[in-house]
Structure 1
Amino acid sequence: MMWTYCEQWNNLTETPMDPLTPEQAQARHASGQLYTAVAHAAQNSAPALRVGIRLETGYASVIFMDEYGRDTLDYTFTLINGSLFLETAASYTYGDSQERGGYADADRTETYEFTPDGVMQRTVEADDEESKESRHSVDVSSNWEPVPSFGAYDSLIRRER
């Protein structure tokens, strides 16, 4: 996996906003400022995923992208007692659409929201309808992740959770 860095990713243009050198990104990581690490499978290949980190506000996200540059899976973490907790997991499907990046509208969104005390709410949006369900006493022990060192995102970017 090859990493490039920027302040943020622009979904519409599928390009980095304010590119950063690895040294600048590392300084932002150390100070808690926002930066985005973009993973490429090979040099000059389309991005496979991106990691957004802003430790000063206790935020981290991992967003997996498809071959059209669209977000397909989004994990959002929040910092609690020195560890990251997976608070939201959202998946997006686009049917037969081949629209690119931020111009595409998902035809189905499935979102899971978790609390550290084991409450999970699932929301499904499809065909202009929304359904919700909640569960209690859910085992959320696998939702915890250590805060990664700069560049050491392997545990955070696990797709299967």
Structure 2
Amino acid sequence: MTSYWTYCEEWNNLSEEAMDPLTPEQAHARHTSGDLYTAVLFADGNASPELRVEVRLETGFTAVIFMDKLGRDELRYSFAVMNGALFLKTVRIYDYGDSEERGGYADAWRMESYDFTPDGIAVQEIEVGDEVSSESRRNIDMASNWEPFPQFGAYDSLIRRER
């Protein structure tokens, strides 16, 4: 099965479609200038994307959002540009339970997030309904949180699900 990329300014989770589609040449120009664009990965035969890469280098931001078969955000990696590379700053995991709601209409019943700092601090937060629990750890090796800055279209390292 082959996959293919499409480009747009942003992805609309409610309508589950691209907002302001871009040609690859337009997206490449935005990558070069640092302006916002989104690369959306589809697998042949799937109506919903597998993931999207949001890039806005002018503000030092990049995110990889893995999506489930119902078009909902399932796993989000948020990176910050630091020292000429990308640092994985936040991981957020969404759990929708038995919900069959699609895309942006679904509310996660549980969210788990991890916030990292380059100096080795990790904070875990779990939200279930109105309940929030938090735990922090220090002296964590953050070497695996660094990613080289990708060239346009060369997202393979960035979109690794297992980290």
User: Under TM normalisation by the shorter chain, which class is it?
Assistant: over 0.9
Q: Secondary structure at the match of 2:144?
A: helix
Question: Deviations along 1:4-58, whole A, 9 cap, x unmatched?
Answer: 0000000000000000000000000011110000000116632000000011111
Contact 1:2/1:43 (8 A) holds in 2: no
**Paired residues for 1:70-109 under 5 Å:** 70-109=72-111
Amino acid in structure 2 at the alignment position of 1:52: E
CA–CA separation in structure 2 for the residues paired with 1:43 and 1:59: 31
Counterpart for residue 56 of structure 2: 54
Is residue 154 from structure 1 mapped to residue 162 from structure 2 by the alignment? no
Cα RMSD between the aligned structures? 0.9
Q: How does 1:1-161 map to 2 (within 5 A)?
A: 1-42=3-44, 45-161=47-163
Alpha-carbon offset, residue 82 of structure 1: 0.2
- Structure 1 segments unaligned to the other structure (5+ residues): none
**Distance in 2 between residues matched to 1:82 and 1:29, nearest whole Å:** 15
Equivalent position SS for 1:47 = coil
Task: Give 5+ residue unaligned stretches, structure 2.
Answer: none
**How many residues are paired up?**
161
Once residues 45 and 19 of structure 2 are traced to their aligned partners in structure 1, the CA distance between those partners, rounded to angstroms, is: 19
